[in-house]
Amino acid sequence: MNSNFNINSLIMKKIVVFIVFLPMISGIINAQESKSNRKAGLSASVQGNQLGIMVPLFVNQKFSIAPAFDVAYVEKVGTDFSIGLVPKFYFKTHGLAPFFDLRLASILYFPSKDNSDDDKTLDWLSGIGFGAEYFLSEHFSFSVEAQGNMTMSDESSWRFGNPDGINFNTATAVTANIYF
């Protein structure tokens, strides 16, 4: 019963954080748009990042939503496949553009046929990031981001060193972005 209380408490905290940020999100989405013509892009990590390759799709000039993908294969061990979603909210859209983003991802592990010791696992990641993107031109930029991430591990997963547990970590991401 105590673990159910902790999970329910965690869910309530996430709902409260979302409600607190909702007015700010609405203001950013409805803010006056710049004259940029960015519609979609491709983002790749320069340093390690949990979500790998992202494909940002601009809803308007101050809001994008990016499906994120990552695959890691190790022969005779298994395959990690991650899929996520990252909505990003820009405060301005040219030069040095500060932003914050949210992230939600699932990380699936499939052991190889040679690895009978492991089970399939499904871990969850959610987080928030703050950073800035520097637009060298309308079609190319670099970004730096600080993140706070929460993970919920599968009962058979040792990915985060805490099977069936909840972890919190900080991370950084440096990305190069191309926009079309």
Length of the chain, in residues: 180
pTM score: 0.74
- CB 105 within 8 Å of CB 123: no
Question: Residue 21's pLDDT is what?
Answer: 54
Q: How far is CA 167 from the centre of its chain?
A: 16
- Sorted by sequence, the CB contacts under 8 Å of residue 36 that are 6+ apart come out as 61, 93, 94, 138
The DSSP call for residue 149 is E
Question: Residue 38's pLDDT is what?
Answer: 83
- CB 62 within 8 Å of CB 89: yes
Give the three-state DSSP class for 50.
coil
Q: Which domains are delineated in the chain?
A: 38-179 (2.40.160.20)
Q: How far is CA 86 from the centre of its chain?
A: 5
| pLDDT tens per residue across all 180 residues of the chain | 444 455 555 555 555 555 555 445 444 444 444 456 789 999 988 655 456 899 999 999 899 999 999 888 888 889 989 999 999 999 998 889 999 999 999 999 999 888 877 789 999 999 999 999 999 998 999 999 999 999 999 998 888 888 999 999 998 999 999 999
Question: Residue 35's pLDDT is what?
Answer: 59
SS (H, E, C) 86-140: EEEEECCCCCEEEEEEEEEEEEEEEECCCCCCCCCEEEEEEEEEEEEEEEEECCE
The DSSP call for residue 161 is S
